[in-house]
Structure 1
Amino acid sequence: MHDDGPPISVRERQLRIVEAVLFSSPEPLSLSEILPYVGEGADLPSLIEDLRNQYAPRGINLVRRGDGWAFRTAEDLGFLLRRQEEETRPLSRAALETLAIIAYHQPTTRAEIEEVRGVAVGKGTLDLLMEAGWVRMRGRRRTPGRPVTYGTTDGFLDHFSLESLTDLPGLDELKGAGLLSSRLPASLQIPLPFDGDLREDEDPLDPDDAGVDAE
């Protein structure tokens, strides 16, 4: 007679389901996206915490990326593993500076980006950052002309291994990494980025905004 071993508990089964769902997803998943797989009533925060602790000493860790969770190579082993990726055109200095300004000043408009940099944002720079999945259109500023406001995405957090925007490096670190140049004003201060829903000075995007080019 074949012995299948002792039956697993409901919680053990839920842990296995959450583990499988996260492992099979290339993108971070939010709790609301995981819940349908385990069913209503499951204590997802507790299940996630258990998995996080279980994987903490292993070669892959369960990490938070914004509102989502994902398995990623342990930070101290990342240098050993280099995923084969298609060669992509490196971001220009202008694109890197624009990305850094959006990250720290979001929600921000194109005109506000240009004010910080002191130069115009070249055609296609914002489009490039949105195509990379790092920047998104958030809404429209409640000012004349209703300019589009921009912010970063969870894909930005995932790519740069950040749990949240509060983990962004300081000004000196940004300059050291080449993300900001000496051309920026010496008095520039790094503010705490706004990470949330639309602010009081923002309106939702118009229905046809999804199809427009970056302003």
Structure 2
Amino acid sequence: MSEDRFQRLRLLEALLFAAAEPLAPAALARHFPEGTDLVSLLEELQGLYANRGVQLLRLGERWAFRTAPDLAGAFEIERTTTRKLTRAAIETLAIVAYHQPVTRGEIEEIRGVALSKGTLDTLLEAGWIRPRGRRRTPGKPVTWGTSDAFLEHFGLESLDSLPGIEELKAAGLLDPRPAVTILGERGLLPPPTPIDRDEGDRDEDKEEDLLGDDFGEDLLPEELELPEEERE
């Protein structure tokens, strides 16, 4: 191999290595003297890389360096993706933790809304809940409870270490105000209904309307003559 051809192979190798995308011979030609047989150079360079970890591949009309296909398995990377729980999942996890073993229906009753299937699946996939058996009621629904992974993740020695109501209030996780006040501010209380008085009250109202305004006043007028002993 002549020195001139060797230098051209080196230049071709550098151009392909530095390129961000595959290059066609026409794009490479401007870096070489006119009349250079680039196809021959590319095929020769391809042979030099045939048994190496990086190979020169022809992709249609373009050429590019690529890792050897048989080494693809060594390039697999496992990544841990952190996903935030939805509000429904957090509420469901709290209900399971404090009310276990609990069924799906009981969770819905406590939350007051229907529970989507994906919510329990997410907690089950995270390993924080597990089936605890079946309730001995019609339909034998599955009951759910927390797992050891739940205790480990939240740094709890046991379920007895779960914070109580006062601790949750102190941490700002519970509103210390009365429930009626909270629901009223959120507009969740039904409007007050008028109190219907019984028929006896209505009759009394009618009777009062028939009486004069001065009824019951001055029951003992001054001109009424009574024995002196009764006036004292």
Q: TM-score, normalised by structure 1?
A: 0.42
Which structure ranks higher in relative contact order (CA pairs < 8 Å, sequence separation ≥ 6)? 1
> Which structure is higher in helix share?
2
